[in-house]
Amino acid sequence: MHLPEEVTICEVGPRDGLQNERVNVPTAGKIRLIEALAEAGIRVMEATSFVSPKWIPNLADAEDTLAGVRRREGVTYAALVPNLKGLERAVAAKVDEVVIFMSASESHNQKNINKSIAQALETYREVVARAKDAGLRLKAALSTCFGCPYEGDVNPSVVVRISEALIAMGVDEVGISDTTGMANPRQVHAMVSQVAERIPLENLSLHFHDTRGAGLANVLAGLEAGVTVYDGSVGGLGGCPYAKGATGNIATEDLVHMLHEMGVETGVDLLKLIECAKLAQDLVGRPLDARVSKVGPVNHRCSGAVHG
Ligand code: HMG
Ligand code: MG
């Protein structure tokens, strides 16, 4: 197998996870989780969203959350932004990275951000230009790339076209996302290969949900196709409120455990990460589905933090 030596983990639990929980975690709890994740060696994290509080009430405290976090040097604190208003809020809150987001299917895009694909690209052109002026790194999360819960199959050429448009605008990274866990490993390999014909692999990341149990198999396909950046959600928190059945991002601790066992380094301390998953479970007040937190790692070799 040809696997990379090292992979970057982007933790999305505080944003993707908590946005969808029935329980609205108090701001102080969110801050504790974000700080604990940084302490566990997470170096890139979606901390919150600057979206409409009417659409996502759980993240209405985005300003207070970021203001309360003791920032750790070397950690990129990112936030989702759907428009210029969101960007203004994110800049004022001193984020390091802005994540714009849209879908590869019209129906999901409309339900999630109330815009067509063309309108979203138009909106983001200005957001990206202004974010660049503000010196921010930019990621674009592209949902429903492997299938849409409303429309079914999504043509890979649409994913390629939107990804190219986003990169041409100045986005640093496109996150190819499987919003409702519809992808399979062969499809992932084919999709990455097709997108990589037009966009350098270094600009791609992958975001999987474990809805149908194929999450980590899809990571493996992504690794073999050469992608080195993966999203994970601590404890497996999360989903998308505008995609029915979008339960369960892949759990960061399951992802890190598999990578370490295969000799792929992440810089994350697995045992500390498992403590974060326990904290996440306490905060949401329900048992989470992640595996490694329940049974522990195969051995302690894989718990070591490689990069501090
Ligand atoms: P809209 O209703 O079309 O927007 O929503 P609008 O411009 O007409 O504004 C409506 C109201 O929202 C106004 O307030 C605005 O001021 C306010 P009012 O005048 O009624 O009092 N507003 C805002 N407030 C604060 N911050 C803002 C903001 N923008 C407008 N930034 C909008 C359009 C995009 C705003 C809305 O649809 C929205 O916020 N959507 C967010 C949906 C979301 O966060 N979904 C989850 C994230 S995506 C995801 O999870 C998938 C991902 O993980 C990858 C994957 O798994 O696939 C990324
Ligand atoms: Mg997601």
Measured CA to CA, the distance from residue 289 to residue 276 in angstroms comes to 14
Residue nearest to atom 28 of ligand 1 (CA): 52
Q: Which of 16, 50, 52 gets mutated to test ligand 1 (max ligand atoms within 8 A of its CB)?
A: 52
> Would the CB of 281 count as within 6 Å of ligand 1?
no
Name the phi and psi angles at 169, rounded to 5. -70, -25
> Would the CB of 146 count as within 6 Å of ligand 1?
no
| Chain Cα centroid distance, residue 162 | 18
* Max Cα distance, the chain (Å): 50
Kindly give the distance from the C-alpha atom of residue 73 to the centroid of ligand 1, in angstroms, as a whole number. Answer: 30
The active-site residue out of 10, 145, 148, 240 is: 240
Strand, helix or coil for residue 175: strand
Beta bridge partners of 100: 140
Q: What is the pLDDT of residue 307?
A: 32
> Would the CB of 49 count as within 6 Å of ligand 1?
yes
Place of tokens 């802005």: 98
- State pLDDT tens for residues 55-75: 999 999 999 999 999 999 999
∠ Cα 263 209 214 (to 5°): 65
What number does the ligand 1 atom closest to the CA of 83 have?
A: 31
Question: What is the helix (H) or strand (E) element at residue 98, kind and residue range?
Answer: strand 97-103
pTM of the predicted model, to two decimals?
0.95
Q: Average per-residue pLDDT in the chain? A: 94
- State pLDDT tens for residues 211-261: 999 999 999 999 999 999 999 999 999 855 555 665 789 999 999 999 999
Residue nearest to atom 22 of ligand 1 (CA): 52
Residue 150 · residue 179 · CB < 8 Å: no
Six token digits for residue 91: 């800049």
Q: Which residue ranges of the chain lie beneath pLDDT 70?
A: 239-246, 300-308
Residue nearest to atom 50 of ligand 1 (CA): 240
Exposed, middle or buried: residue 293 (CB in 10 Å: 0-12, 13-18, 19+)? buried
Measured CA to CA, the distance from residue 260 to residue 207 in angstroms comes to 19
Q: What is the pLDDT of residue 83?
A: 98
Kindly give the distance from the C-alpha atom of residue 99 to the centroid of ligand 1, in angstroms, as a whole number. Answer: 13
Measured CA to CA, the distance from residue 179 to residue 81 in angstroms comes to 18
Measured CA to CA, the distance from residue 308 to residue 304 in angstroms comes to 9
DSSP 3-state helix, strand, coil percentages of the chain (rounded to 5)?
Answer: 45, 15, 40
> Would the CB of 113 count as within 6 Å of ligand 1?
yes
> Would the CB of 149 count as within 6 Å of ligand 1?
no
Does the active-site annotation cover 240? yes
